Amino acid sequence: MNRIQLKEFLDEKVIVYNNPNFIVSDPIQIPHLFTLKEDIEIAGFLVATIAWGNRKSIINNGHRLVEMMGNSPYDFVMNFSEKNSDSLSPFVHRTFNNDDLFYFLKALQNIYKNHGGLENVFATYAEKDSMQVSIHHFKKSFFELPHLPRTQKHISDPLKNSAAKRINMFLRWMVRNDNAGVDFGIWKNIAPSQLSCPLDIHSGNVARKLKLLVRKQNDGKALAELDNSLRKLDPNDPVKYDFALFGLGVFERF
């Protein structure tokens, strides 16, 4: 396919998957339980953090997480302390455990109390056409409190050549606003043009078959290459193609 044909093909696939039917099989269904901006942000951030492995397990554990927080994530975070940590049942998702969860709750509380909230931290360091430096600085702010070294592995650093798939996915959820009913578009200080595609094994394999990506590893360098290709197709909203690449890989076995 030439570029025009490729764009037409992918645009059609975006329409197929970028609609409310997508929600029922995706972790984004967890933040869709809420209407308050901060509830959506916190639920989305925590679910994106555990979004690796079996999709059914991710969704089940995402529901369990928000239930443990009394279905009021923001209120729970703002009132969280070690004294009421007993109200949390033991939580484990793969390598993310109770110690990690307790720190994430304290760090989120710090972000909202002392840094103006999640959107403000990410927007502060956003570059014109990239959020990767912003993610690096977000991680520094997030881990400014005393913590176990092991907990840092749950937030990737693009400046260490990570594709940071889960954070980029979370940013897509918060920023994109196309009225399709999937992404929320509740963050107004970051534009869709600044986002990067959540690069994983599915989107990476499809991107290589479509010659959008040559590099074999799914790392930060591959993400930059894929960003460049997708921005040529739509510089204003390159990450909409995440729906096409992921859908082709997971649902169509492309």
- The whole-number pLDDT of residue 92 equals 85
pLDDT tens per residue, range 101-139: 999 999 999 999 999 999 999 999 999 999 999 999 999
- The whole-number pLDDT of residue 158 equals 96
* 254 inside domain: no
- The whole-number pLDDT of residue 254 equals 85
What's the domain range around 120?
Answer: 3-249
* 58 inside domain: yes
- The whole-number pLDDT of residue 90 equals 86
Asked whether residue 85 carries a pLDDT value surpassing 80, the answer given is no
- The whole-number pLDDT of residue 83 equals 76
pLDDT band of residue 171 (cuts 50, 70, 90) is very high
* 103 inside domain: yes
Mean pLDDT of the residues in the chain: 95
* 44 inside domain: yes
Query: What is the mean predicted confidence (pLDDT) over 59-74?
Result: 95
* 60 inside domain: yes
* 183 inside domain: yes
- The whole-number pLDDT of residue 253 equals 83
pLDDT band of residue 1 (cuts 50, 70, 90) is confident
Which residues face 96 on adjacent strands?
93
Structural domain count of the chain? 1
